[in-house]
Amino acid sequence: MQSLGLQTVLAYHQATKHHFRAFARSAGYLDWATQPEPFRRFEGAERITLAQPSPGDGPTYRAAMRGDHGTAEELDADFVARLFRDSLSISAWKQLGGERWALRVNPSSGNLHPTEGYLVCGPVPELTDTACVAHYAPREHSLEIRARLSDALWRELAKRLPAGAVLVGLSSILWREAWKYGERAYRYCQHDVGHALAALAIAAAGLRWRARLLPGIAAADLAQLLGLADSEGHEQEYADCLVVLDPGRDAHRPLVWADDPPAQFESITWRGEPNRLSLSHRQWPVIHEVARAVQESAVALDIIHGQASEAIPNGSSAERDQSQEDYGEDFGAGIALRSIIHRRRSAVAMDGRTRLDLPTFTHMLAGLHRIPGVRPFMVLPWEPAVHLFFFVHRVEDLEPGLYCLVRRREQLPELRQATRRDFAWQVPPGCPAELGFHLLQAGDLRDTARLLCCGQDIAADGCFSLAMVADFAGRLRRHGAGFYSHLFWECGIIGQVLYLQAEVANLQGTGIGCYFDDPVHELLGLQSDAFQSLYHFTVGGAVDDPRITTLPPYPGV
Ligand SMILES: Cc1cc2nc3c(=O)[nH]c(=O)nc-3n(C[C@H](O)[C@H](O)[C@H](O)COP(=O)(O)O)c2cc1C
């Protein structure tokens, strides 16, 4: 029998599918009068402006992603400035006519940015003498101190964490996305959390720290810790997850959160009032229903695992060495990670011509696997649940057609069983068998990809596009309704890696949240909700809009 939470989640998922005959429910137009303010502020909170980090080279993309690039940096004010600047800050302002808007290091569906970030830390040299909880304000690249924590409380928290750790919490203001996308907004907010998680893990890798999601913390405890327990109403901000960042001194200690919250948790004094984002709102009750169902169903600790095998930043494991020999040897070797992070952009149009060479493509595929020690997938403490169905359009020496990257090898038989009988499942020439990449059907899929992605040309005009298909109903039954958000996080992380890989390959990517759900399933032959497509993506040669001017992210930068 299904729990009420699972019923709510499955019903929400079904109700927010786009169909050829109708899109998921939304206002259907943009009500500019109620457009939400893109920046959350806590009025009255003490603000600490973070330094603009010096351009300094830092590790290469390849070294950072493989975690083999020297000792962890010291935690101080510059560290914190760098961490946020490389993950959640503004990356540029854009201008067209009288309009001006900010882009950020982390992407967001519709550039609406529902995700907020919070630092929870002990005393940090040159930043804070006391432990504190601070909201990151990207517009000013500053921290708003929401609470000073007692020494006793921080000691209690630190006991549960690896040596020298700090925490970053992520939350979502659903209204920001719902204003434009209505009922499908909850999905997009969770994709965005996934992108932000990856952005944080990759920024941490640049500082030679590791990042891991803290499993098992109850949503209510997390809301308490981030100062969001009283958030309510149309602009309610939901605490989503907590990331533990640490320098990797006690490498093999698994992360465990004791069930009981620290005794002093409820006595924290919060400062600052959240700014109001819109003058009025349209109600979308189902997004709050699904958010509550997810939050009320904790993802149990004993069913998610794998983090303890994370290699120390400077270490190596036999498995990782093997993977390095197999593929991806020099992808991103000559390119500074931070240059890639800050130049990441979504392509708004693709040229329909640029081709990708096969070695680069296979290196990209290799980087989409969860391999011990390799960033950023180790941030997630569960076996991969998302497989990738590629629409290959323009890759040298690879026949155009439909392909599958199986991200969890053991699931290959299940995938074969669930998809169309006439799929070939052949290893393409030039691709190592261990990659888990299979040709399903050769053919020109440009029109199909465009059609399935709500008629968007970017799905057809790139080198390839893809559908992220999750092991869905079974995993939700096993891990609980709370795992629904986690599946989107995994997709968002894959998307963030694709964005950065595209930049390394001198291409650009774009996340695609608008696709027709069941027509995708029909193409693949998927007949039940055992597997569901949760996110699409495209990579190719981008075409810029010459009318748009780019301005620096902050004065003097
Ligand atoms: C979850 C998600 C879904 C998206 N869906 C689409 C889409 O369907 N079509 C599109 O053109 N762009 C899509 N985008 C790209 C965003 O519009 C883009 O990230 C945003 O405008 C910010 O621009 P930037 O990525 O260059 O920072 C999506 C991005 C994300 C993160």
- Number of helical H runs and strand E runs in the chain: 17, 18
Protein residue with least CA distance to atom 31, ligand 1? 108
Biggest CA–CA distance in the chain, Å, is 65
Mutate-to-test residue for ligand 1 from 18, 96, 346, highest number of ligand atoms within 8 A of CB:
346
Angle, helix 185-206 to helix 174-181, in steps of 10 degrees = 130
Backbone angles phi and psi of 531, in degrees to 5? -125, 140
Amino acid present at 220: A
- Specify the pLDDT at position 298: 78
Ligand 1 mean position, distance from CA 369 (Å): 23
Protein residue with least CA distance to atom 7, ligand 1? 512
Distances (CA, A) of 35 to 70, 238, 311, 496: 46, 20, 45, 26
- Specify the pLDDT at position 252: 67
Ligand 1 mean position, distance from CA 54 (Å): 29
Which strands form 166-173's sheet, in the order they lie side by side?
46-49, 142-149, 131-137, 115-121, 166-173, 237-246, 210-213
Atom of ligand 1 nearest to the CA of 110: 17
- Specify the pLDDT at position 310: 40
- Specify the pLDDT at position 242: 96
For ligand 1, residues with CB inside 6 Å are 103-104, 107-111, 188, 191-192, 195, 345-346, 456, 458, 510-514
Mutate-to-test residue for ligand 1 from 18, 109, 493, 500, highest number of ligand atoms within 8 A of CB:
109
- Specify the pLDDT at position 329: 67
Q: Report the relative pairing of strands 508-512 and 42-43 from DSSP bridges.
A: unpaired
For residue 341, which of 541, 540, 196 has the smallest C-alpha distance? 196
Q: Is 132 helix (H, G, I), strand (E, B) or coil?
A: strand
Q: Is 534 helix (H, G, I), strand (E, B) or coil?
A: strand
Structure tokens at 494: 């894959």
- Specify the pLDDT at position 261: 77
Contact criterion met (CB below 8 Å) for 405 and 387: yes
Distances (CA, A) of 9 to 135, 286, 290, 405, 536: 30, 10, 6, 27, 21
Protein residue with least CA distance to atom 21, ligand 1? 111
For residue 84, which of 109, 114, 48 has the smallest C-alpha distance? 48
Q: Is 162 helix (H, G, I), strand (E, B) or coil?
A: coil
Which residue shows structure tokens 């997390």?
A: 222
Residue 547 CB-density burial (10 A; 0-12 exposed, 13-18 middle, 19+ buried): exposed
Structure tokens at 151: 């020494």
Which residue shows structure tokens 């748009």?
A: 548
Contact criterion met (CB below 8 Å) for 428 and 355: no
For residue 418, which of 445, 377, 463, 387 has the smallest C-alpha distance? 387
Backbone angles phi and psi of 550, in degrees to 5? -105, 130
Atom of ligand 1 nearest to the CA of 188: 1
In angstroms, rounded to a whole number, what is the distance separating the alpha carbons of residues 145 and 66?
34
- Specify the pLDDT at position 309: 39
Mutate-to-test residue for ligand 1 from 99, 461, 512, highest number of ligand atoms within 8 A of CB:
512
Backbone angles phi and psi of 460, in degrees to 5? -105, -30
* E-only strand ranges, 310-378: none
Protein residue with least CA distance to atom 9, ligand 1? 512
pLDDT in 10s for each residue of the chain, 557 residues: 789 999 999 999 999 999 999 999 999 999 999 999 999 999 999 999 999 998 777 999 999 999 876 899 999 999 999 999 999 999 999 999 999 999 999 999 999 999 999 999 999 999 999 999 999 999 999 999 999 999 999 999 998 899 999 999 999 999 999 999 999 999 999 999 999 999 999 999 999 999 999 988 889 999 999 999 999 999 999 999 999 999 988 766 777 777 777 777 878 999 999 999 999 999 999 999 999 999 999 786 454 444 433 433 333 344 444 444 444 568 999 999 999 999 999 999 999 999 999 999 999 999 999 988 889 998 998 999 999 999 999 999 999 999 999 999 999 999 999 999 999 999 999 999 999 999 999 999 999 999 999 999 999 999 999 999 999 999 999 999 999 999 999 999 999 999 999 999 999 999 999 999 999 999 999 999 999 999 999 999 999 999 999 999 999 89
In angstroms, rounded to a whole number, what is the distance separating the alpha carbons of residues 502 and 344?
9
Amino acid present at 154: W
Contact criterion met (CB below 8 Å) for 379 and 304: no
Contact criterion met (CB below 8 Å) for 55 and 511: no
SS (H, E, C) 446-499: HHHHHHHCCCCCHHHHCCEEEEEEEECHHHHHHHCCCHHHHHHHHHHHHHHHHH
Ligand 1 mean position, distance from CA 225 (Å): 30
Protein residue with least CA distance to atom 19, ligand 1? 107
Angle, helix 483-504 to helix 185-206, in steps of 10 degrees = 50
